Structure formats: structure tokens, C-alpha cells
Amino acid sequence: MPIVDMLRRNAGLYGTETALVEVNPEVFEPRPRTWREYDLIEPAQTQPYRREISWKVFDEKANRLANLLLSHGVKKGDKVAILLMNCIDWLPIYFGILKAGAIAVPLNFRYTASEIAYCVSQADVDILVFGEQFKGRIEELVPRIQKNRLLLYVGDGCPDYAESYHLATANCPSNDPWVPISEEDDAAIYFSSGTTGYPKAILHHHLSLTQSAEMEQAHHGQTHDDVFLCIPPLYHTGAKMHWFGSLLVGGKAVLLRGVSPKSVFDAVSNEGCTVVWLLVPWAQDILAAIERGDIALDDYKLDQWRLMHIGAQPVPKSLIERWRSIFPTHDYDTNYGLSESCGPGCVHLGVENIDRVGAIGIPGYRWEARVVDADGNEVEHGVKGELAVKGPGIMECYYNDPESSAEVLKGKWLLTGDIAYQDEDGFFWLVDRKKDLVISGGENIYPVQVEDFLSAHPAIHDVAVIGIPDDRLGEIAIAIVELKRGMDNTTVDDIEEFCLGLPRYKRPRKIIFASVPRNPTGKIEKPLLRETYGSLGTAHADNG
């Protein structure tokens, strides 16, 4: 069934129950006074910002937006972009777009004005819904994007070039418009991370969204009583597609604004969260805070927390070993995927395969996977090649880009751009991104393998390995190392001595102490690092 039917069903079955909670620990508001406090002169105490809506209200808000869009002449297949920070309006807006038969186009909240303009043009966007944090960027673009486009503003102080979302939807009926939708209809355009220039527009049909919901629940066994903590940005496929498992069973979700270890533990404890999806840097921060004593586990209610799963980038085995030593009762899963496969899960470890930590796992629910050579032929077990996947969540195409589509879509198979191999037991192991391969003196160096090795050093918080030009060897590998707090006395010699555990050709030729930049989905920004440190490779360096 189309995913909008899941929302309709939840509104009927669980209408008064909580569907979504928004918590922002960085914003405080007055705490309502009890009747005993009304005579007090002192101001009421404050509490973190918190809002919640029921399934019935969620559905009604989606209906109101759908009816507003239809009143503006939106037709099936028109595109409506969303440029919002995570908030309690985000998902009702997304589902309102789908209920109108339109195509939802989530945009990265870090996009510059020029990137927003590019994506709006590339996806043929008809309407843009944006929040108050983006006023400045949109004002720059009004002369370029306002013509023939409706701008809907979410927040206070609506600018004169836009229409107020809240005022407009308040005057729209809350009844369901019942626009006919099939799983074959176009549903959403998600933009790639843009690591090779401007991002690509990835078109998915409704079947992709339904598959994501059913797959997530099949992998992690969500029930109606589970509470999902959602921290990553909703514009990305990862966060939303994991939440779809909660949608399928009508479970509560908590949208947390803020990623500090304390805010995560407060949310888990106060809201009774049972399922938490993390990115690598957040898990690293949590472990570091516990190990330093900044977080005392006894201060929180954590017994109900049953599953921690992680994805969006390679996961160091040492990180999960540390996590399991602190949380031995947690189920754990690694989720591999990409926006072209409608988010994580086309390959996953599986909670029953904890002994295989390090592998990305086996094909997910209704998926197939294989490793192929440059000609597209499947290779033998143990041989490295490009990972290809096939299943009901494959994108239709890169919208308005047939040439790029043809490069990665081979019949019903999607080439992922990741180098992997399959072991004798059928488990897939990620080696690296094809484009991140470093060829040094004829030897292939896969940065992820070196990063995984270095992550086990007790002083290292995060690490990135890249290739830079070298006159003699073609490329050399260098490591950007971010140290843990309090480990500033660690030296380059210490790291180089640790690297003696690597084969000689894999050892980084330079060690640089600096922060490791990651994007909002947790991926290391390697193009930025190559731009920053590429000039270091003008002369040959050999440290052993």
C-alpha cells in the first residue's frame, strides 16, 4: 500500500496517542506553574522546548496542506520542496505533499543560496516550503525562483514575498482529499551528497517508501510500544526511512534537536526511547563522554533501550566493541545503503549476527547483492569489486540526467560505487569508495581499512585517510587525526609507532593533527580534505 495509507490507518487506530515529539534542549521556555505557584513572585522555572502531536492531528495537518496545495492548482507529479530544520511540522508537510499526489523534494539545510537555486531548477520545483532559518538565503533568490513558484513560509514574521504556511493551512479543511495514488507513482526526489560537484536528483516511486517501512520493521522488529529517537536530518533518506518502521506499527517518535551526549541520554531517559539510530561521530562522542565521566549512566533511565543501530558511513569495529562493553544488552545492527537505494538497509548486518561485526552484512529484506568486476561480471568470493544491489527500493533514475542514470543503472541492478568483497559465508565486507582508492607505487590502498586500524588507538577520537599527489609514487596516503580531549600530549611519533602494525605500503606517509570534518549525515568530507591538504603532496615524503 502507498505509505500515506499507513498514516491514515494510524489516525484511525491510534488517533489520540502521541505520534511525534519535538525536543530542543538548546531552547528554553517557561514551565507552566502549578496552582500552588501562582502566588509566587519569582518567575516560573524554565524547561527545554517540547512539543507533541497525536496521530489524528498529524493526519489532519497533512490533509490541510494537501488541500492547500490542491487549491493552488497543484497536480499529480508536481514538485514541492522542503527546506526546514528538523521540527514537528516537517513530517506532516512531507505527507501533505504526498497526499496531494505531488512529489516531495527535501533539501539539505546546509545548502548555500546557489545550491538551493540549482536544486530547485534541477528538480523542476513548483512550490518551496521554507523555515525562518533560511530567510536570508531565500531573499537572495527571490528574483530567480519566485516566478511561477509559490513560496510557503513556516514560522513567525512571514516575509512579503511568501505566504504563511500556518495561516494558510488553518483555513483549509482537515478532511482527506483522497487523491488516487499507486505504488508505481513518483513520490520523492532526494539529492545526493554532492561529493563530486553539484548533487544529483534521485527520483523514487511510492514503492520505494513502502519497501523502506516494511524492511525496517522486518530488520528491527519494531512494535507499537517502541519509541524511536530520531536525531539525523529528515531531509536525508537515512533518518526518515528508519522512522518509517515506527510509522508502520504506529509507534511514537522523538525528534531531537541537538546531538550532545547529554541531550541524547536525556531524551532516551525522559521519553522512554527504545530504538536509537546514531552516526559514527555521535557514537564516538557518547563513548568519550562516558569514559571521561561526563555522563554517569546511573543518572538516566536506560533499561528500556534495546537497540542501537548505526550507518551512513563505514563503522570501525573498535567502536562497536567499546559500545558493547558498556551496553552489553543492546542489540546492534549496521545498516548499509545509499540514497539511490532509498536509504539504509539494502545490506545490513542483522541483530543476530553480532559475531560478524566489521562486515556490512547480508542482503536486506527483499534485496539481492553481488560484487562485480569492471565489465559487470560477478566475481568469486574473496575478490574485491564493485558492490551492486537489486530490489524494490532502487531509484527510478537521476531526474533530468539520463547520462548519469545510465552509468549506475544496469538493467535492474544499481552500481553503488563502493568496493567490497563477499566471504565464503555470504557476508559482504566494505573496502572503500571506488573514488577514494589511493594508488601508491602501484599498490591499492583502501583508506577505510587504514582508518579502521587507526580508530583502535586509545588517543584517537576520529581519523580520515586521503591520497595526495606525489611525484615518485603517484599518490601517498596521509592521515588527518583528531585526538580525544585530554590527549594533546600524543605525538606524531606515537601514531607512527602504532602504524607499524600495518603492512609497510599501507602506512600513512604523513600524520596531521586536525579536526575531521563530517557532513550532517556523518560522512567524512574528503573532497574538502583533499582541497585543504592536497598541496602537501608537491614533494615526496617517506617516513618509513
Domain ranges of the chain: 3-31+45-256, 306-433, 437-538
| Angstrom distance (rounded) from CA 298 to CA 292 | 15
- Show the cell assigned to 41: 513572585
What mean pLDDT do residues 118-122 have? 93
pLDDT in tens, 458-486: 999 999 998 888 877 778 899 999 999 89
Model-wide pTM > 0.85? no
Nearest residue to 240 (alpha-carbon basis) of 46, 387, 106: 106
H-state helical runs in 377-489: 402-408, 447-454
Helix axes 90-99, 237-249, angle to 10 degrees: 80
- Fold classified for 3-31+45-256: Rossmann fold (3.40.50)
| Angstrom distance (rounded) from CA 412 to CA 430 | 22
pLDDT in tens, 375-423: 999 999 999 999 999 999 999 999 999 999 999 999 999 999 888 999 9
Least confident of 18-22, 58-62, 400-404, 449-453: 449-453
pLDDT of 474 reads: 74
What mean pLDDT do residues 207-223 have? 96
pLDDT in tens, 76-116: 999 999 999 999 999 999 999 999 999 999 998 988 898 89
pLDDT of 258 reads: 84
Domain 306-433 has CATH 2.60.40.10: no
Q: Which residue has the cell 603492512?
A: 503
Instruction: Using the predicted structure, report yes or no on whether residue 323 has a pLDDT greater than 50.
Output: yes
Which residue did the predictor score with more confidence, 529 or 215?
A: 215
Percent of the chain clearing pLDDT 70 (strictly above): 93
- Would you say the CATH fold of 437-538 matches that of 306-433? no
pLDDT of 162 reads: 94
Domain 437-538: assigned CATH number: 3.30.300.30
Helix then strand then coil, in percent of the chain rounded to 5, is 35, 30, 35
178-181 long-range contacts, Cβ below 8 Å, gap at least 24? Answer: 179/66, 179/70, 179/76, 179/99, 179/100, 179/101, 180/101, 181/2, 181/4, 181/98, 181/99, 181/101, 181/206
Q: What is the DSSP string of 6-73?
A: HHHHHHHHSTTSEEEEEEEEEEEEEPPPPGGGTT--SPPPEEEEEEEEEHHHHHHHHHHHHHHHHHTT
